[in-house]
Structure 1
Amino acid sequence: SLIPYHDKYKLTYGDSQICTVLARSFADIGDIVRGRDLFIGYNQKEKNRREKLEKNLQKIFGDIYKELTKNAKKGAKDLYNGDDNNNYSKLREDWWAANRETVWKAITCSEKLSNSKYFRGTCGDNENTATLTPSHCRCDGSNANQVPTYFDYVPQYLRWFEEWA
């Protein structure tokens, strides 16, 4: 959990609500899973760790691809065909879209987030009537399965401009 690091972060970068910090981390995870992370590391050790992570993700998505296309499942083969470098870009996008809610729940499962609200109304289908997350940086009621951020769909370099400006 990032909660223990939040106070230290606030000393350096000013006030930023924990839900916003978690949303930024969530978006970074989305970039990594989808193979779009622009950050390559500060030093050789970090670069090597990033390369190893990417190779592991390519293997994982390769295994998922093999399972999906086993027994000549033509639909899956057609859908995910044409990925020459074995990056499985389309499959990774689809996996993220299908699992982003579960990833958000995992990031926000700590009881220490019980009083944490997102900085603006994000729960609901209408921007004008959207409500705040009541606790755990999550929506509730009929919107309980809604991730209250779309940072993961904002290009990483634009998020960096906003975050570090």
Structure 2
Amino acid sequence: ACAPFRRLHLCHHNLEKMGTEKIDNTHKLLAEVCYAAKEEGESLRSQHGQHKGTNNESQLCTVLARSFADIGDIVRGRDLFLGNTYESARRKQLDDKLKEIFKKIHDDVTRGNKGKTNGKVPENYYREDGPNYYKLREDWWEANRKDVWKAITCDAWGNTYFRATCGDNENTTIRTPSRCRCNDNQVPTYFDYVPQYLRWFEEWA
């Protein structure tokens, strides 16, 4: 799938520049990911008026949800974007950094003193997870996606998501009251669980 223009300029430069020697736990990684999300949200909001003028179906919350999902794919090692030779090398460098960071988190989690994860003892559940750490990365995203959504929507005042997705009962769900957020900080989108190539096809359409 051909990446949309929005993905070509995704604001994740701080992730590319982060030093793996300093990012040695989940909290520090979350801070870096949230900062990247906040920068991306501000960038999209500043450009939204111009692009909305030529595409009435484009709503800020939807655009934010697409970038939120792309950030999730980067974190989980699923990003399909290659770009030119230079961009491809940078993408590999970023994924290598994330692998190194998740190795540190993996080593910490599998020491056996962190309780249980997904109903399984971590040292057993994640034992064969290296060297890409896909299971751990998936669980990390699931645990932290609310905070990343709050970061990317930080500057989205007065905007509501296009569908009624707030709430656990499908018969009583409502639209986001403001800032593309539900009142209980529930993430109103599941774009991050839709395969990236399908999202891109839909975005181009």
Q: Normalising by structure 2, what TM-score?
A: 0.72
Letter matched to residue 58 of structure 2: S
Indicate the SS of the match to 2:121: helix
Indicate the SS of the match to 2:110: helix
Q: Determine whether 1:136 maps to 2:176.
A: no
For 1:79, the equivalent position in structure 2 comes to 125
Structure 2 counterpart of 1:52, from 83, 86, 93: 93
Residues 14-61 of structure 1: per-residue CA shift (max 9 Å, x gap): 5410000000001111111111111112x1111111011101110110
Stretch moving more, 70-79 or 130-139: 70-79
For 2:170, the equivalent position in structure 1 comes to 127
For 1:109, the equivalent position in structure 2 comes to 154
- Do the aligned partners of 2:163 and 2:175 also contact (CA within 8 Å) in 1? yes
For 2:74, the equivalent position in structure 1 comes to 32
**RMSD value, Cα:** 1.9
Q: Normalising by structure 1, what TM-score?
A: 0.88
Gaps (5+ residues) in structure 1? Answer: none
The whole-number CA distance in structure 2 between the counterparts of 1:52 and 1:13 is 35
Stretch moving more, 32-41 or 69-78: 69-78
Equivalent residues, number = 158
The whole-number CA distance in structure 2 between the counterparts of 1:9 and 1:83 is 42
- Do the aligned partners of 2:110 and 2:127 also contact (CA within 8 Å) in 1? no
For 1:149, the equivalent position in structure 2 comes to 189
The whole-number CA distance in structure 1 between the counterparts of 2:54 and 2:132 is 37
The whole-number CA distance in structure 2 between the counterparts of 1:134 and 1:72 is 41
Q: Determine whether 1:160 maps to 2:160.
A: no
Indicate the SS of the match to 2:111: helix
- Do the aligned partners of 2:48 and 2:60 also contact (CA within 8 Å) in 1? yes
The whole-number CA distance in structure 1 between the counterparts of 2:77 and 2:50 is 30
The whole-number CA distance in structure 2 between the counterparts of 1:149 and 1:161 is 17
Q: Residues 63 and 124 (structure 1 numbering): CA distance in 2 closer, same or farther, change over 3 Å?
A: same
Stretch moving more, 63-72 or 7-16: 7-16
